[in-house]
Amino acid sequence: MAVKMRLQRHGSKKRPFYFIVIADARSPRDGKFIQKLGSYNPLTVPATIQVDRQKALDWLQKGAQPTDTVRRILSFKGVLYLKHLLRGVGLGLFDEATAMEKFTKWSQEHEAHVSRRQSAHKKARSERAHTPVVRKVAEKAPEVPAAEEPKSSEEAPAGE
């Protein structure tokens, strides 16, 4: 049985809200699923993502294949990086304490980066809200007199 990690759409028309679920690849998009891992709301700025990291990691290690969008969400939340580190532990490259230390360091840097982006967005948004809108009125271009047409065929240029 092929198992996929994918988005299940909810919400009304033009107001999407998604659940991140584990489902059989043959089941319909909004149909039967095995387990719910979290939610994704693309309408908020920035998008709201809630994922149970441990459940997602367990399913990835069992062989569940994420769709492209879910892969990006899991990457953003650090689940794929954690899987990568745990693979290194399994191969004997480093111990689990080092892996958790690396993940904690990455997580702190990532949270700082996200908070900087959020504050920059809020600042830009407040500046746009307080900036008065100045509309320029299109100035009327001065009229140019049309070129005079030749009055007789004798004055017409050759080749016509």
Inside any domain, residue 59: yes
Residue 153 belongs to some domain of the structure = no
Assess whether pLDDT exceeds 60 at residue 38.
yes
Residue 103 to residue 105: CA distance in whole angstroms: 5
Segment 93-99 mean pLDDT: 92
The pLDDT score that the predictor gives to residue 58 is 96
- Confidence (pLDDT) at 40: 96
Residue 47 resides in a domain: yes
Identify residue 159 by its one-letter amino acid code. G
Considering the chain, what percentage of its residues have pLDDT values greater than 70? Answer: 84
Q: Which pLDDT belongs to residue 50? A: 96
For residue 88, give its domain range: 3-126
CATH code (residue 81):
3.30.1320.10
pLDDT digits (tens, 9 = 90+) for 110-155: 999 989 988 988 898 888 888 776 777 666 666 766 666 666 555 5
Q: What is the CA radius of gyration of the chain?
A: 30
Q: CA torsion sign, 85 to 90 to 93 to 99?
A: positive
Q: What is the pLDDT of residue 28?
A: 87
Please indicate, yes or no, if residue 131 is contained in any of the structural domains. no
Does position 76 have pLDDT exceeding 70, yes or no? yes
Predicted confidence (pLDDT) at residue 53 exceeds the cutoff of 80:
yes
Residue 150 lies in a domain: no
Q: Between helices 68-77 and 53-62, what is the axis angle to 10°?
A: 130
132 prior amide bond cis, ω within 30 = no
Q: Give the model's pLDDT for residue 155.
A: 58
User: Per the structure, how many domains does the chain have?
Assistant: 1
What pLDDT does residue 141 have? Answer: 64
Domain for residue 105, yes or no?
yes
Residue 158 counted as domain residue: no
* pLDDT for residue 23 is more than 60: yes
pLDDT at 98 over 70: yes
Among residues 14, 64, 16, 65, the alpha carbon closest in space to that of 40 is found at 16
Q: Read off the pTM.
A: 0.75
pLDDT confidence of residue 79: 95
- With the C-alpha atoms ordered 65, 67, 70, 72, is the resulting torsion angle positive or negative? positive
In a domain, 154, yes or no: no
